[in-house]
A and B are shown apart, each in its own frame.
Chain A
């Protein structure tokens, strides 16, 4: 099974999905089989004047993530994630991390082929 990262407003499965990818509070790495989680703080990216999405993509690539579940991804972050071979699922804002992971496991989501945000502040 794949290793997933969900942009999250907090460290638990019941925290909301953070709609912003690059400037998300953090990422919850979830093993979809065991639902074991690990939280990565995204403060370093949040604080960046520019390149937040690229920094976040680098962090996830280094953590061996294969799929990202999130709300909005800007063009640069999208290019970075694609470059890292990471699949992106957008528009999952409004759900909790648990709901987003369930949706993904039930194949009820479509991986995105293009960014859905103009970027700049992502």
Chain B
């Protein structure tokens, strides 16, 4: 099964929860950091990186001597990454989504595939667990293509049927976050019991609900704020799977990049229980596909 740990905004403790879940998970497990703009799961898990590989997107380049300015490519491209200006064919590489449409449609074979570097995919081992991450190139605007490469690398491990996967998803509710979670069996939403936390949780629920994936909520820093988050969850039919109490020592552990369960042994049962619940939800979803 695949579990995604997500949150409507950054700083809710999403990565801390991912790391603690990794620690508490009983079945064979791989971990994936898809927060490619600011990956930090490795800081908590300290994996041994075996290799890093650059990932690229295939973008068009033009042989201007062959281009007849028929505009078929520019009419096709929804992203305006290729645009015919009558006398000049312009390509905006950073706007290209790599769909290959223009290359296929050009009747003059004036377009040739080129490459744009997206960033790198790294993988290795964190103890018994496999570890996968992506790191976006500085200046690269699109993260979903790199995220797909990280997922593809995991699939190539050939272990996907035998092992569970926990994805640390990017924060937010836009395209990259949806991309990260969309093939999961269960989504764990991390929030805080504050008005801001509630606001972002609502956005996340709205963004992910159409995917039809079962979701559960983890309330971090329980004890600060108010009860509105819990009211919302019960109205929306979202199970609250765990409440992580607020404490100074936890905040400290987080700041130092330590796994919560190690810093605070009292939390071990909480995370074991959370891991069990999520595993159960994920396996149920897998048995009854589409009945989410």
Contact = CB atoms under 8 A, between A and B. Distances in A.
Interface of A: 48, 50-51, 54-55, 57-58, 61-62, 76, 79-80, 83-85
A83 B88 contact: yes
Interface of B: 74, 79-81, 83-88, 90, 92, 95
B87 A84 contact: yes
20 contacts: A48-B80, A50-B80, A50-B95, A51-B79, A51-B81, A51-B92, A54-B80, A54-B83, A54-B90, A57-B85, A58-B80, A61-B86, A62-B86, A76-B95, A79-B90, A80-B90, A83-B90, A84-B85, A84-B86, A85-B88
B131 to A, nearest CB: 34
Interface of B is mostly: loop
B85 A50 contact: no
Nearest to A62: B86
B88 A84 contact: yes
A79 B90 CA distance: 8
B86 A57 contact: no
A35 B232 CA distance: 61
Given A51-B79, A84-B87, A58 B74 contact: yes
Contacts of B84: 58
B179 to A, nearest CB: 16
A54 B86 contact: no
A59 to B, nearest CB: 11
A11 to B, nearest CB: 25
A45 to B, nearest CB: 9
B189 to A, nearest CB: 26
Contacts of A55: 80
A65 to B, nearest CB: 11
Given A58-B74, A76-B92, A51 B86 contact: no
Contacts of A62: 86
Contacts of A54: 80, 83, 90, 92
Contacts of A61: 85-86
A105 to B, nearest CB: 25
Contacts of A48: 80
A84 B87 CA distance: 6
Residue of B74, B84, B90 with most chain A CB atoms under a 10 A cut-off: B90
Contacts of A58: 74, 80, 83-85
Given A51-B95, A58-B74, A80 B79 contact: no
Contact of B79 (A50, A83, A84, A85): A50
Residue of B80, B84, B87, B88 with most chain A CB atoms under a 10 A cut-off: B80
Given A50-B95, A58-B74, A83 B85 contact: yes
Nearest to B74: A58
A58 B80 CA distance: 10
Contact of B87 (A50, A57, A80, A85): A85
Contacts of A76: 92, 95
Contacts of B86: 61-62, 84-85
B82 to A, nearest CB: 9
Given A57-B83, A58-B84, A61-B86, 5 more contacts: A54-B80, A54-B92, A55-B80, A58-B74, A79-B90
A51 B79 CA distance: 6
A85 B80 CA distance: 18
Contacts of B79: 50-51
Nearest to A48: B80
Nearest to B94: A76
B239 to A, nearest CB: 35
A61 B89 CA distance: 12
Contacts of B74: 58
A83 B89 CA distance: 8
A76 B85 CA distance: 13
B263 to A, nearest CB: 41
